[in-house]
Every structure is written in structure tokens, then in C-alpha cells.
Amino acid sequence: MKQILLLLIFAAISFYCNAQTNSKITVGVIETIQSKILDEKRDCWVYVPHSDQKEKQSKQRYPVVYLLDGDEHFYSLVGLTNHLGKNAICPEMIIVGIVNTNRTRDLTPSHGNTDFDIKDGSKKGDNEGGDKFMAFLENELMPYIDAKYTTEPYKMLIGHSLGGLTVMNTLMRRPDLFNSYVAIDPAMLDDGKFLLQASKSLLSTKDLSRNSLFLGIANTMEPRMDTIKVKTDTDRSTAHIRAIMELSKNLADNTQNHLNYNYKYYNEESHNTIPLIAAYDALHTIFNFYELKIPRSELMGMNMETIAKITGHYETVSKQLGYSVKVPQPMANNLGYLSLKTQHLEEAEFLFKLNCANFPESADVYDSLGDFYAAKGDKNKASDNYSKSLSISEIAATRQKLESLQIK
């Protein structure tokens, strides 16, 4: 698995290198926000899919991942989402990596004050840093990103360690802020123990039917321990993993809240090595409904029944995500050419026209439909579609195909 993940990141880096028109590798941009709530400037690293292709960037909308400890995990998560998104395992997504200024202040819901309210998980007293940070996310950062970028309403929050604690705090106190949550080896000890204590009450009373949570648990035990022995251990060295296991039990026991909950224990990963592999598994798990699973043999013999399965699949995906998800342009295009090659002409025409209907501002879809009519020998319709493509974007290959038809 580690080798696979490394290959994904190298592939992503290669993509970025090839995508640039100069000698610089550019993955994202830095956005600086003057926060009135936090009374300071905050930096965020933002990645937008296809940011090297202005046409696609301006037309397509994306769900958003808000990533805590953003400068620590930004590049790896961008690599994962880029690869998985391009292979239609999960949606392509905007990544917003939030850079720390005072990590402990922002990512800690309490400082151990005895006035912590067990009933609702709120904190009364000396430290309001976690509450202010949550307010910053809701009232300043999210509106800023939604206003500046082409976002869909679906939002995910990912955090590791103290960031994982913040993920759990947000899920239990403000589940409406995000659709899905990823808590990676969360720090449920010390300040986190108050939230852990409150979790039974919070998880039993909340309606979490619209939320998903993936919990990743690292192996932080001594070699003498295993997952059975550790549950009854009392040594401080195992307190971290015992707290997470207690949290996991509380989550599993409270099925009445209808939370879509999954977890995974990583026996071979430590607290510091778990973030990458857990994020990979989280994306697979939370978006397990996203991938189109139709045998290649069926796609090779494309018919209208198979096309109905494809369009029906993305209708289901739309319901899960809460916004309209069209059959991806590259998928419809590739299947269109495959159908054309295998002489399934009705299906090919349907798929190419579907792309034109779904992505009318894309030059590529009309170029492909032009190829279809050229293959059928319909020069007039081929010329019309090549001309339509060129009216959107001047592409040398399309111009050459149009001129070739005119000469003939």
C-alpha cells in the first residue's frame, strides 16, 4: 500500500510539472484572510482541479475539502484527490489547507476547565480558542471560498492529531457545517478527554443521518501490547490509543443517530505515518458510492441499456452528494469513441450529444461530435461541429480537421 501511495504522489507531481508552461511547478495559491473573529491574518493554501486550464477551471464546480494543519498535509492530499478524482473513484475537489498560527489555541476545544458542559460539549471559561476557530471557519473562511471559487455545497473536514480532535468536536457540536468528517488518530487525551467524556451524551442525542465519519487509528502501543490487552491496560504509554478506542466504541454503540461511520486500525502505522494512508482509505470509504462499476466486457459491447445504467448511476451519486453530478466529460467522450470504433453508432452519437448537452461551453465536446459525423461521412454536420468548437477555443488540430473537410 505504501508503494502505491508513493506512486500516486509521484504521478501527481509529474502531472503538475507537465501542466506548467514555464519552468516552475505550481500546485496552488496562497489566500490571506484578515479575520475579525481571530483578530489576525490567516493564510490558506488553495488547490483547484484543472487550475492550469482556465476554460475548465471557470466552468466546472467542485466540492471542497477543508484540511487542518494545511501546510503539513497539503501536497499529499492534493496528490491523492487528483489521482482518485481523475479515475472517478471520488469527486475532483478543491483543497483548502488552513495554515496554523497558534495550533493549540485553535485546535483545542477546552483547556481542562471544570466548567466544560458535558451535555452539549461546549466550554465555559478561560479558553475560547476552539470556539472562535470554528466561528472563523463558518462565518469567514467558508463564505470567502464560496464567493471566490466555483464550489458545490458538499464540504469535508480532515484533521490529524489535534486536528482530529477538532474534527470530532465539530462533528459532535456542529454536524451541519460539513457533510463528511475524517479524524486521523485524534488527540482525545488531556484537553480531548472532556470531549470524550461528553461523546456518549452528544452521540446519543444528535441526528447525524446526513453525515459520514472515517476514523483512522494508528498503532501507538508498546510491542508487548495488542488490541485486546490494551483495553484493560492502565499505563500512560497506551492512554492515547485507549482513548481513541473508547471513542470508537461510543460511535459504534450509538447507531440511533444514523451516522455513516467507518473506522480502520493501522497496525503498521505510527501516529506520524498514518495521515497519508488514512486519507486515502477515507476517500475510498466515504465515496464508496461514487465509482462506476460496470464490467469492461459490457462497456465494449455498448448498448442503450448500459448507457441507462451509467446515467442512472450518476443520478444516484447526485442524491448522495446533494447536487447534480453529470456523467464526467472524459468518460462519456472515451465511451463514445469506443462505441464508434465497435460500430455501435446509435450509442456513440448519444454519448457525444450527451456531452454537448452537459458541457455546452467545452470546445472538446463539439470536436468529438464532429469526429463522429466525419466518420459517418456527414461532412456538413462535421464541419458545423468543428466550427462550433473553434468558436469556443482555437485548437490547431480542430482547425486542421475543418480545413481538410473543406478541401475535400
Write down the mean pLDDT value for the chain: 88
pLDDT at 127: 56
Under the banding of pLDDT at 50, 70 and 90, the label for residue 113 is very low
Q: Are 289 and 321 in contact (CB under 8 A)?
A: no
Torsion from C-alpha of 149, 154, 160, 162, nearest 10 degrees = 90
The 8-class DSSP code of residue 237 comes to: G
Same fold, 2-286 and 296-407: no
pLDDT at 3: 54
Domain extents in the chain: 2-286, 296-407
Q: Report pLDDT digits (tens) over 221-238.
A: 988 888 898 888 888 889
Question: Lowest-confidence range among 51-65, 91-105, 287-301, 326-340?
Answer: 51-65
The architecture of the domain spanning 296-407 is Alpha Horseshoe (1.25)
Tell me, yes or no, if the pTM score tops 0.75: yes
What strand order describes the sheet that includes 29-35? 29-35, 40-47, 94-98, 62-67, 151-160, 180-184, 212-218, 260-266
Higher-pLDDT residue of 299, 98: 98
Q: Are 387 and 402 in contact (CB under 8 A)?
A: yes
pLDDT at 53: 52
pLDDT at 112: 45
The architecture of the domain spanning 2-286 is 3-Layer(aba) Sandwich (3.40)
Rounded Cα gap, residues 4 and 2, in angstroms: 5
Question: Lowest-confidence range among 84-88, 94-98, 118-122, 288-292?
Answer: 118-122
Under the banding of pLDDT at 50, 70 and 90, the label for residue 116 is very low
Q: How wide is the angle at C-alpha 16 spanned by C-alphas 14 and 18, nearest 5°?
A: 70
72: Cβ–Cβ under 8 A, 6 or more apart, which residues? 160, 275
Q: Are 94 and 66 in contact (CB under 8 A)?
A: no
